[in-house]
Amino acid sequence: MSTAGQVIRCKAAVAWESGKPLSIEEVEVAPPQKDEVRIKILFTSLCHTDVYFWDAKGQNPLFPRILGHEAGGIVESVGEGVTNLKPGDHVLPIFTGECKECPHCLSEESNMCDLLRINTDRVGMINDGKSRFSINGKPIYHFLGTSTFSEYTVVHVGQVAKINPHAPLDKVCVLSCGMSTGFGATVNVAKPKKGQSVAIFGLGAVGLAAAEGARVSGASRIIGIDLNPSRFEQAKKFGVTEFVNPKDYNKPVQEVIVEMTGGGVDRSVECTGSIQAMISAFECVHDGWGVAVLVGVPNKDDAFKTHPVNLLNEKTLKGTFFGNYKPRSDIPAVVEKYMNKELELDKFITHTVPFSEINKAFELMLAGEGLRCVIRMET
């Protein structure tokens, strides 16, 4: 029986207030409106960004809300004007979008869509500002335009990547945020040449995805920098060859790396959001050709300083957003890399839980255990 055009009642994990366990509730999900798609979510994973906005420290607390933005699912129905997707298509909803019409989307260099770029304060749909979720007639806020901690969700068509239907959604769901961010930062922005050296600052999931990018690129040395030595053993699976813990030295870690490499690394990728790590990542690259790429998101009042002579000595500092991937145009090809065994994803997924135990995923992340926990929506 088709559910197109009808309200769907389903389960969703609702965050009612900051820092409190999510509550599994029956919600009503309205049909998709113009340029919208309703998706049946099959697998979703927990990303640090979900925890950050659930905790809501230093953020605008917007509750009740359905979090979640790393996921894979199947299109249930489409709204008016949607021509590139149909019911049954396998898709990844993505926290940022690609309208394909704005100057950014028309540029080969940018993925920062004017219409659909990330907006953490937006709680409704772009079309009318309203939520498609409700409980007893009261709206429940959206998150990043995706809200994947629900059995069904409504997403703007520009935030939906149509992928190979044979790709296992329980694996490729992690490509809709963190893995693509780290991997793309290396392969699309740092662009190490075969045989070059790469330093990775921060060995969480995004940093290890950056290391995977360096491994796939043929880097000869991949140096992992982290304050937590328990991460070093796991990082070897991602191609990391050497480890540096800044706590082990009484001088700035950038000086340690310059000495280790006889002048500095060829490329560095910073995945922590720490100002000190950003400075170190820039100052540890080789003069003349070194490139440092910033991925980590800093606190809103942060600033850092470095001597301008570092730039005059032909070191390059770059930033990236979502690994410079355009969601609809580029992510399907990243899925194909996994299908062709050019990119490994299974090693990123360290835990799985049923939807009823979604709070366990939060507990694991808060305890710093594992990389990605995939949540199975169907029990």
**Cα(60)–Cα(322) distance, integer angstroms:** 23
Q: What amino acid occupies position 280? A: S
**Cα(226)–Cα(323) distance, integer angstroms:** 21
Tokens standing for 343? 């990119």
Q: What is the DSSP letter of 285?
A: B
Among candidate residues 286, 209, 282, 230, the one with its CA nearest the CA of residue 45: 209
**Sign of the C-alpha dihedral computed for residues 252, 254, 256 and 259 taken in this order:** negative
Q: What is the DSSP secondary-structure string of 83-107? A: -S--TT-EEEE-SS---SSSHHHH-
Identify the three-state secondary structure at position 359.
Answer: helix
Q: Which residues are catalytic?
A: 47-49, 69-70, 99, 102, 105, 113, 117, 177, 372
Radius of gyration of the chain (CA): 21
Among candidate residues 210, 174, 177, the one with its CA nearest the CA of residue 191: 210
